[in-house]
Amino acid sequence: MGFDLAGYHVPVKADVPDIHVVLIDKRDPIVNRMGAKGMGEIPLVGFTAAIANAVFHATGELIRELPLTPDKFL
């Protein structure tokens, strides 16, 4: 049985639970000028590796340098 994207479930806004913003009363000037931190970056840690892995499986070319640009596959 082959794999295709026709039956792949793509998450949409209705699939995401409510997001609650919590403000912490402690400034962190090392992060950025505003001193704000975002929790949204945490799930993105493995994102680029997953994309690079998918590109490797699709093309057979293992690219170990970001960003993944077309010229690196030539």
User: Residues in the chain, how many?
Assistant: 74
The catalytic site residues sit at 41
Cβ neighbourhood burial of 38 (10 Å; 0-12, 13-18, 19+)? exposed
Cα of 29 vs its chain's centroid, Å: 25
